[in-house]
Amino acid sequence: MKICMVGTGYVGLVSGACFADLGNTVWCVDKIQNKIDILNSNKIPIYEPGLDEIVKKNYKAGRLKFTTNLNFAVKNSDLIFICVGTPTSKNGSADLKYVIQAAKEISKNINNFKIIVNKSTVPVSTGDMVENIISKKVKKNMFAVISNPEFLREGEAIRDFRFPDRIVVGANNKRFLNKIKKLYQPLVNKGAVFFSTNRRGAELIKYAANAFLASKIAFMNEVGNLCEKTDVDIEDVALGMGLDKRIGARFLRVGPAYGGSCFPKDTKAITVTGDKFKTNLSIVKSVIKSNNLRKTILTKKAEKILSNKVKNKNIAFLGVTFKANTDDMRGSTSLIMIPSLAKKGAKINYYDPTGSKKEFSKLKNVKYCDTISKTCANTDLIIIHTEWDEFKSLNFTKLTKRKNFKVFDMRNLYSHVDENKKNYKYYSIGR
């Protein structure tokens, strides 16, 4: 099949490369010349484990192409995916300016029947808007607009693409489903469920899924707070709850506030959509509040571990990204904790497998170290912020020269039973 991905950001690049890997010819289009130049010189502009290999292989095979020439790519494709960003606008809604731009550009290049597939995360009814924009230039029998939301996780995107739980497609006319069903057939053959509904239904599934997952995390974090006061182990509570198939065992892990480029943005956007349609999504609103408060609660907990004497204390942060296997800092709890502790006079070393971060470069008393041992050598408190594999079996006693140091494991990577037998004080979450 001939495919055009409009927007070569995270979703467009990962999906485009994976579609090419399934034997399709894929044009990845972007307005940013520099990004296209990087890709055409065999480099990858984003951090995503495994992507590099797939891009190189399919580029070499001539199935994956990168261009700024949208006109040519649209004209030569049957399926056109809109994969542009929908950042948060001032009022918290999803800013649709890039979707609108893409729709306008596509409409100028419809030379034969095209299926336009919206993969960007967009509020319910955006497909109607895209259809209206295109129909200003093109007759309605020359195109169809369908919705195919993306459920990839950063750091796991290749696996999520290849082995999805489900593929959701929304079309107002079932006739248009066949082509996209054919595209995904290799994944369906391996067990993915192909679920189709109407266009608005698919759009809402994406937001509802993210808002629900975010609620699950915020809920568990609050139950974790209660566990700390009642001498109960949150890990047992999560296991006991998760065994109920109605609840499910995944996404019950406690830790920092949820972050990333999606949950914070999409939870806000769905509440604005709710308000627009005069529906108060009060649960999601309180999830957002709870998640923001989480960052303060954990900062206060770190201060309490230091007996509220933060000034001149050496703190070592292990990991600063919002989760492991990504270099993404968006919505990361470290963005609140590090500046706030540094402001109170703490001297902070941090290490992250993806390198130093511009977000901390101007902060006084905050230093990037390129190894775990340098970070922890002279520390009063080690804070495990992100769950990278390389932090999972450390010998803290060997890592630091101090006698009375403490460890705050914000991801519950270690057994508190074992750690409590060590010569340092160990703190974790919800237990």
Element (H, E) at 178: helix 177-189
The one-character DSSP state at 154 is: T
* CA gap 411, 322 in Å, rounded: 12
* Residue with token string 């004497």: 309
Q: Cβ of residue 78: shortest distance to ligand UGA, in angstroms? A: 25
Out of 18, 262, 369, 376, pick the active-site residue: 262
C-alpha closest to that of 341 among 363, 318, 321: 363
By beta-carbon proximity to ligand UGA, the closer residue of 96 and 310 is: 96
Q: Cβ of residue 121: shortest distance to ligand UGA, in angstroms? A: 6
* CA gap 356, 367 in Å, rounded: 9
By beta-carbon proximity to ligand UGA, the closer residue of 102 and 310 is: 102
By beta-carbon proximity to ligand UGA, the closer residue of 176 and 256 is: 256
| Beta carbons of 7 and 105 less than 8 angstroms apart | no
Q: Cβ of residue 332: shortest distance to ligand UGA, in angstroms? A: 8
By beta-carbon proximity to ligand UGA, the closer residue of 263 and 368 is: 263
* CA gap 330, 260 in Å, rounded: 5
Q: Cβ of residue 73: shortest distance to ligand UGA, in angstroms? A: 23
Rounded to 5°, the CA angle 72-78-84 comes to 70
| Beta carbons of 91 and 14 less than 8 angstroms apart | no
By beta-carbon proximity to ligand UGA, the closer residue of 70 and 122 is: 122
| Beta carbons of 203 and 149 less than 8 angstroms apart | yes
Q: Cβ of residue 297: shortest distance to ligand UGA, in angstroms? A: 14
Decide if 376 is catalytic.
Answer: no
By beta-carbon proximity to ligand UGA, the closer residue of 123 and 260 is: 260
By beta-carbon proximity to ligand UGA, the closer residue of 150 and 380 is: 150
| Beta carbons of 153 and 165 less than 8 angstroms apart | no
By beta-carbon proximity to ligand UGA, the closer residue of 118 and 121 is: 121
Residue 350 DSSP SS3: strand
Other Cβ atoms within 10 Å of 395 Cβ, number:
8
Q: Where are the alpha helices (DSSP H) in 70-156?
A: 70-75, 97-107, 126-135
Handedness of CA 237, 243, 248, 250 (dihedral sign): positive
3-class SS letters over 203-256? HHHHHHHHHHHHHHHHHHHHHHHHHHHHCCCHHHHHHHHHCCCCCCCCCCCCCC
Token representation of residue 353: 């497998």
Q: Cβ of residue 82: shortest distance to ligand UGA, in angstroms? A: 15
Cα-only R_g, the chain? 24
The one-character DSSP state at 88 is: B
Q: Cβ of residue 75: shortest distance to ligand UGA, in angstroms? A: 29
Q: Cβ of residue 255: shortest distance to ligand UGA, in angstroms? A: 5
Find all residues with CB under 8 Å of 131, minimum gap 6, and list them. Answer: 145
| Beta carbons of 155 and 49 less than 8 angstroms apart | yes
Binding region for ligand UGA (CB under 6 A): 121, 150-154, 210, 213, 217, 251-253, 255, 258-260, 262-263, 322-323
Catalytic residues: 262
